[in-house]
Amino acid sequence: MNVMNARARGHLRATLLLLCALLLASCGDGGGVGQGAARVGGDLDDTGGDLTTRQVTTTTPSDAAARDLAVRALARVLGDDVPPRVPRVDLDRIVARAKAGAGYDSLVESTLRDYVTQAYDRIFRYRLDPATTPPAFAVRFDENVFQRLLGVVRGTGPRGTLALPDGRSVPAAAEGIWSFVAESAPVWGARHSGAANAENCVGGLGPRCKGTEGSGTPRPANTDGFDRMDGVRMNYIEMAVAVGSIMHDRSCLDPPYVVYCNGEPFPNPNDPRVQAAESAMNPPGIVPGEIEWRKAVYNIRDGRYFTYRFGPYPLDGSVDPAANDSTRSGMRAGSPADHFSDDIRLLPGRPSAGSSDQFAQWDVPYQREELGQTTVLFAPAGKSLDPVDGRYCVRGSFARTESNPFTRWGVC
């Protein structure tokens, strides 16, 4: 009978072993694949020697060890006091990464990316909707901003601080990172201001998210709530906006004696100080802010307003959607929501016009700066505005103008 030589037997044995390994079978004299060990074939030598083997052992962190590593990474990114409040879905995601083998540095980077992504999505999400925001105001994740934050957060040494564009220095933790992202756009998003009695719902009808009681406009309402990764419950406030309210909120930065700012009464027209302020107005005899306030009132009367979702602000202390009067709504003094501010920097504004009295129609030209927040407020297509306010349409002009025997208007 024929006898195989040693070289042929070696090649045959190697081939059989490779096939067995691929089929995860147990064969030959080396045992099987399983129980965390893998048989790996070595190179064949020219003499037909046996396939070399080695055991490769993979270790998976225990649940406790993975959770501890995840909590350490969370604490580094969001602050030492935050991890117990982190929503379960976020904690589970980070623990899963740790169990898959991610190390501390990798977990810090991925956790920070998750939080920065959430901040961009939630702070600027309504500036991505072409129905209400022109493309120039769209805001998306900025990798350069993320890398700047990562450079401050990474490591294990003392926690760094962030220099915000508004001049403040804040801890590189949850609130500071959120505020840094909010101030990374040309028009800032709502963020922690560092002081109570902040300015929110800027451009909305009524003072500080209160709305206008008895006007027939929609009541301010909490909407689209979510949990931030540090456990803070946030929400938006949807409320009515008018061009007149945009203009009036700008005038409220002109102290003193401006009409109906911050809930204050109409200034006494016999007060010499008010009269001195009036003398600087055009036309004279008009109390500061009166033209803007009157335009807002007429906008409500004529149905020339639209809605916008302001925020997000912390739910704790923000407007009560069940409130039926302005004394119960708005931002509760001293609450977390009371510390969140919109962008109130002065930026280039859009032209408009007001009326000197109830019979005149847009006889007072208006061209002033706007507050940052109001520059992103636009009426959607199909909304009617005063015929002088085409620049406040999302398309930048009216689609058409209409009139009746009593008045005129434009349609966005």
Render pLDDT for 215-269 as a digit per residue (tens, 0 to 9): 788 889 899 999 999 999 999 999 999 999 999 999 888 766 677 786 666 666 6
Give the residue-averaged pLDDT of 161-177.
96
Q: Of 149, 181, 213, which residue sits at a domain end?
A: 181
Predicted confidence band at 46 (pLDDT cuts at 50, 70, 90)? very low
Report if residue 402 sits inside a domain: no
Give the residue-averaged pLDDT of 6-11.
45
Give the residue-averaged pLDDT of 37-42.
33
- Please state the length of the chain: 412
Report if residue 390 sits inside a domain: no
Distance CA 401, CA 387 (A): 7
Predicted confidence band at 270 (pLDDT cuts at 50, 70, 90)? confident
- Same domain? For 90 and 173 the reply is yes
What is the predicted pLDDT for the residue at 159?
A: 82
- Same domain? For 307 and 340 the reply is yes
Give the residue-averaged pLDDT of 14-27.
41
- Same domain? For 228 and 337 the reply is yes
- Same domain? For 168 and 195 the reply is no
In this structure, of 14-28, 152-166, 200-214, the range with the lowest mean pLDDT score is: 14-28
Distance CA 68, CA 64 (A): 6
**8 A C-beta contact, residue 257 and residue 273:** yes
Centroid of chain to Cα 217:
26
190's tokens:
């709502």
- Same domain? For 228 and 166 the reply is no
* pLDDT higher than 80, residue 299: yes
Range of the domain at 5: 1-58
**8 A C-beta contact, residue 40 and residue 52:** no
Distance CA 304, CA 333 (A): 31
62's tokens:
């225990």
What is the predicted pLDDT for the residue at 207?
A: 83
**Integer angstrom CA distances of residue 158 from 11, 341, 407:** 61, 29, 65
What is the predicted pLDDT for the residue at 261?
A: 81
* pLDDT higher than 60, residue 400: yes
* pLDDT higher than 50, residue 103: yes
Instruction: Tell me the DSSP string of 308-369.
Output: EEEEEEESTTS--TT--STTT-SPPTTSTGGGEE----EE----EEE-SSSS--S-EEE---
Phi, psi angles (nearest 5°) of residue 167:
100, -10
If one compares 16 and 295, the residue with the highest pLDDT of the two is: 295
268's tokens:
């006494």
What is the predicted pLDDT for the residue at 3?
A: 40
Report if residue 202 sits inside a domain: yes
Predicted confidence band at 280 (pLDDT cuts at 50, 70, 90)? low
Distance CA 141, CA 151 (A): 17
What is the predicted pLDDT for the residue at 320?
A: 64
What is the predicted pLDDT for the residue at 318?
A: 87
Report if residue 254 sits inside a domain: yes
If one compares 109 and 256, the residue with the highest pLDDT of the two is: 109
The pTM of this model reads 0.81
**8 A C-beta contact, residue 251 and residue 374:** no
Phi, psi angles (nearest 5°) of residue 120:
-60, -45
**8 A C-beta contact, residue 341 and residue 200:** yes
Q: Of 10, 31, 58, which residue sits at a domain end?
A: 58
Cα radius of gyration rounded to whole Å, the chain: 32
Q: Structurally, how many domains does the chain consist of?
A: 3
Predicted confidence band at 44 (pLDDT cuts at 50, 70, 90)? very low
**8 A C-beta contact, residue 239 and residue 310:** yes
Report if residue 216 sits inside a domain: yes
- Same domain? For 71 and 46 the reply is no
- Same domain? For 137 and 249 the reply is no
Q: What percent of the chain has pLDDT over 90?
A: 60
Predicted confidence band at 360 (pLDDT cuts at 50, 70, 90)? confident
If one compares 333 and 137, the residue with the highest pLDDT of the two is: 137
Q: Of 129, 152, 181, which residue sits at a domain end?
A: 181
Give the residue-averaged pLDDT of 277-302.
80
Report if residue 204 sits inside a domain: yes
- Same domain? For 267 and 308 the reply is yes
Phi, psi angles (nearest 5°) of residue 48:
80, 25
Instruction: Tell me the DSSP string of 155-221.
Output: SSSS--EEE-TTS-EEESSHHHHHHHHHTTSSSPPPEE-SSSS---STTBSSSTT---TTSSSPPPE
- Same domain? For 168 and 237 the reply is no
- Same domain? For 260 and 170 the reply is no
* 3-state class (DSSP) for residue 45: coil
If one compares 354 and 324, the residue with the highest pLDDT of the two is: 354
Distance CA 373, CA 380 (A): 17
Give the residue-averaged pLDDT of 122-145.
95
- Same domain? For 206 and 348 the reply is yes
Distance CA 56, CA 220 (A): 62
Report if residue 109 sits inside a domain: yes
* pLDDT higher than 90, residue 370: yes
- Same domain? For 142 and 270 the reply is no
Distance CA 9, CA 7 (A): 5
* pLDDT higher than 90, residue 22: no
Give the residue-averaged pLDDT of 73-87.
94
Nearest CA-CA partner of 182 in 124, 114, 118: 124
Report if residue 398 sits inside a domain: no
Of the segments 239-253, 280-294, 347-361, 385-399, which one has the largest average pLDDT value? 385-399
Q: What is the pLDDT of residues 325-342, one digit of tens each?
A: 555 567 888 889 999 999
What is the predicted pLDDT for the residue at 274?
A: 72
What is the predicted pLDDT for the residue at 190?
A: 97
Q: What is the mean pLDDT of the chain?
A: 83
What is the predicted pLDDT for the residue at 187?
A: 97
